[in-house]
Amino acid sequence: MKSVRIVKYALLALTLLLAISATGIFLVYRFYPRENMLVLLNAKAEEALKCKVRIEGLDYSLRGIVLRGVTVYDPEGHCGEVLVSAERLSLRFSLFRLALYRRFDLNHVSAEKLFLNICFKDGVSNLERVARGLKSDETSSITTTIESIALENARISLKNPPRKLKPLEGEYGIDASLEFLEKNRLRFYDCSIVLPAGRGIVKPAVTLALDGGFEITGETGLTQCSLLWVYTWGKNLSLPFLDVTGRVTGLKITEAAVEGSLKGVSTLAGGKPLEVNGGCRVDIAGETVSLLNIEARFLSTSLVVNDFLFNFSGDVLRFKIGGIDARLAELPLALKQAPAGLYGTVRGELAFSQGRYSGVIETDAGYDPRRRIVRDLKFRAVIANSVIEPTPATLLLYDQPAELVVSSTDGNFRKINLNVNMREFVYPAQGQEDAVPRGTDETPPIRLPLEIQGHIGADSVQVDKVALTKCSLDYLFTAGKLVAENISAQMFGGEIKGKGGLDLSMDKPYVHFNVGFSGVKTQNVGRLTENFRDRVFGTASGSVDLAFSVQPGVQVLDSVMGKIEFSIDRGKLVNTGIQNGLGVWLEELKYKLTDLEFNKVYGNLTLSGKSYQINSFMFNSQDVRIKMDGSFTRELEGDMKIDLEFTTTFIQDLPNPATLALLSKYKRDRWYVIPFQVKGSIIEPKNYVRIF
């Protein structure tokens, strides 16, 4: 491992530098004055390290020596001139042993403001390059040992590391005490490491063993240690854990694995804390992470992760989770993918192995407590090998009872079947909001990692003033899109059939449907408004193709776009605003216009929000016709051109010959064509103007 080699090379360089210092100390006490010693130390260090070395000052006593302003320069200088430096380097040793036994036993080495600049080029660090060039063939006549080292305000800079070490790049702040033990072991204590870029603080108390392999054992404290940079080792990882504070015990790090137990608190993406207590093992060779016996608590939600195995790419290989006691309203605070508006509880256990799910899940839940869209959803699902056999459930939909059957039989647990049946459904129910929905605050798009399909049926449905019976449709919800097929219902004495869709994957949900209708009694439709009650008759058929989006603060009907095309057989108009408006200008014909019958009525309209554009609108019979062109709004405000056409037969019983003479100028062949202009309310006769 590159990190192990870095430690070895650093220790090797430090030992050699101290050995040179020992030689210098011995010589200075015997032969040299202080002034000449700096020159000798610099020369010896540069000869051994093959680097430029600078020592600014030297102090010594019988107990040791102090070096000031020590700098070792990088011979290549790819990432700065300095390889290592220290503001003050204190060496405490036994002068007696040095002089008598030629043993340089360092009782203690302390470094103030040490700086180590580690830089990689072509996968090899500058520290390693320098270590390779050390004169290992030369031996000193003085034996050097070190007992302990103290670092105060040290900094280690790691630049341009190879890909596997890239997340570790940055500058570390270190305060630590190191003790050299027997069998080539090194103990770290009173240690505090400040991670780069505000990633937190690590306080390890560990022992490093280098004989027979690399091993670190001990424990460490964690203070607001960021986890976001850790995810860069994986592929497309997007986990909700921001940082962790706690303590790792039983820590063991080798070249093959990392393991330990953590008790602490992790801050989630929503800012709420997650309490955890359990074990973890990272298999470096196998590139997997295993979580064991982890007790987790988030607000009022708790669970136990008995086993959870995933690889470095974030793929889940297996898990076993028990003791699930989840509050659904808390999920969006922990997982941004969770839809808002859910409430209630989920309890049970769930396992995943070899691509198959198993477990038992019990729910008592609802959706949107303010509008009470769904509540008292109660069911118990038994999952075996990713199969849920048809399981009945009950719920209230807008406070009205419904029966639900849940199943998943594909064996992949990627498709859920939900069949809903109701005897009666009324919207808005008593105490509910107005039936015409208005967009609310924007909500995140809904994208579920599975498909939901099924059948919805209701014996009767009442939506505001519209009554439907024998309602039925098949649906599929996937990738945030709801597709409805085989829509059928009976309404207004006729039948409707069609299909539609709802796209919830966008920021503004988009609705589209295409419905055909036949046998519809227009008098039943006319009863929806007083303006047309008992004034329009006939049997209608046709199609409706509409689309709209749900936007915050916008009435849904104001965003409707589409087309309506219809025909009416045996149509009849009785005393409508149009007839009254025409009658104002044709007083002699008023009694005839009041009650008109038509063999066929045809209409083709384009909808654009509140506006209706007339592409074609014709009332046809043998002796009278009405043609309309222009536009009008939902409030029946219009700008229209109306042609009233009739034959001589239609007016043959007019008593006043002067009227016939007046109408003669509108005659074209056997038809009289009288044009009118309407601006304003189309039900107000005063707004009708005959075009002369």
Q: What is the pLDDT, as a whole number, of residue 588? A: 64
Q: What is the SS3 string spanning 76-115?
A: CCECECEEEEEEEEEEEECHHHHHHHCEEEEEEEEEECCE
- Between CA 239 and CA 68 the distance in angstroms is 48
438 pLDDT band, cuts 50/70/90, is: very low
- Between CA 435 and CA 600 the distance in angstroms is 33
Pick the more confident residue, 312 or 434: 312
Reduce the DSSP state of residue 332 to 3 states and report it: helix
- Between CA 306 and CA 322 the distance in angstroms is 7
Q: What is the pLDDT, as a whole number, of residue 6? A: 59
Q: What is the SS3 string spanning 340-395?
A: CCEEEEEEEEEEEECCEEEEEEEEEEEECCCCCCEEEEEEEEEEECCEEEEEEEEE
440 pLDDT band, cuts 50/70/90, is: very low
- Between CA 176 and CA 193 the distance in angstroms is 8
Q: What is the pLDDT, as a whole number, of residue 65? A: 82
Reduce the DSSP state of residue 20 to 3 states and report it: helix
Range 238-244, long-range pairs (CB < 8 A, 24+ positions): 240/268, 240/269, 240/270, 240/334, 240/335, 240/336, 241/266, 241/267, 241/268, 241/269, 241/274, 242/266, 242/267, 242/268, 242/269, 243/200, 243/267, 244/276
pLDDT at 666 over 70: yes
Which residues make beta-bridge pairs with 679? 639
pLDDT at 235 over 80: no
Q: Which residue has the tokens 């003669």?
A: 664
- Mean pLDDT estimate for the chain: 83
Q: For 71-80, what is the mean pLDDT?
A: 83
The DSSP H or E segment spanning 23 is: helix 2-30
Two structure tokens written together for 377: 């959803």
pLDDT at 289 over 80: yes
Two structure tokens written together for 496: 């409707």
Two structure tokens written together for 504: 């919830």
Question: Which residues lie closer than 8 Å to 463 by C-beta, 6 or more apart?
Answer: 427, 435
- Between CA 311 and CA 147 the distance in angstroms is 41
Cβ-based neighbour number of residue 120 at 10 Å: 20
The DSSP H or E segment spanning 129 is: helix 126-132
- Between CA 14 and CA 177 the distance in angstroms is 16
pTM above 0.75, yes or no: no
96 pLDDT band, cuts 50/70/90, is: low
Lowest mean pLDDT among 32-36, 177-181, 458-462: 32-36
Contact 404, 419 (CB under 8 A): yes
Q: What is the pLDDT, as a whole number, of residue 689? A: 85
Name the percent of the chain lying above pLDDT 90.
Answer: 38
Cβ-based neighbour number of residue 154 at 10 Å: 19
CA angle 677, 682, 688 (to 5 degrees): 35
Q: What is the pLDDT, as a whole number, of residue 439? A: 45
Question: Which residues lie closer than 8 Å to 405 by C-beta, 6 or more apart?
Answer: 390, 391, 392, 393, 417, 418, 419
Angle at which helices 34-49 and 2-30 cross, to 10° = 150
Q: Which residue has the tokens 């982890």?
A: 294
Lowest mean pLDDT among 210-214, 292-296, 316-320, 389-393: 210-214
pLDDT at 448 over 90: no
Q: Which residue has the tokens 């974030």?
A: 314
Peptide bond preceding 339 in cis form (omega within 30 of 0): no
pLDDT tens track for 339-392: 788 999 999 999 999 989 999 999 999 998 888 889 999 999 999 999 999 999
Q: What is the pLDDT, as a whole number, of residue 449? A: 72
- Between CA 532 and CA 636 the distance in angstroms is 12
Q: For 316-337, what is the mean pLDDT?
A: 88
**CA distances, 429 to each of 220, 368, 398, 436, 489 (Å):** 60, 15, 7, 13, 20
pLDDT tens track for 598-640: 889 899 999 998 899 999 999 898 888 889 999 998 888 999 9
